[in-house]
Amino acid sequence: MVHEGQEGRSGGALFWIALRAGVVFIILCGIVYPLVSTGLAQLLFPHQANGSLLRDKDGTLIGSELIGQSFTDPSYFHGRVSSIGYKAEASGSNNYAPSNPDMIARTQASIVQWQQENPDVLIEKLPIALITNSGSGLDPHITPQSALVQISRISKLTGLSEAELASLVNEYTENRDLGVFGEKRVNVLKLNLALKEKLGI
- 133-164: pLDDT as tens digits: 888 888 999 999 999 999 999 999 999 999 99
Asked whether residue 37 falls in the same domain as residue 68, the answer is no
Asked whether residue 164 falls in the same domain as residue 70, the answer is yes
Asked whether residue 154 falls in the same domain as residue 68, the answer is yes
Q: In the chain, how many domains are there?
A: 2
Upper half-sphere CA count for residue 57 (Cβ side, 13 Å): 10
DSSP assignment letter at 68: -
Check residue 83 and give its pLDDT: 82
Asked whether residue 69 falls in the same domain as residue 141, the answer is yes
Q: Is residue 158 part of a domain?
A: yes
Secondary structure of residue 53 in the 3-state scheme: strand
Asked whether residue 86 falls in the same domain as residue 140, the answer is yes
Asked whether residue 117 falls in the same domain as residue 60, the answer is yes
Residue type, 17: I
Range of the domain at 14: 6-46
Q: Could you tell me the pTM of the whole model? A: 0.77
Work out the average pLDDT over 160-176.
Answer: 94
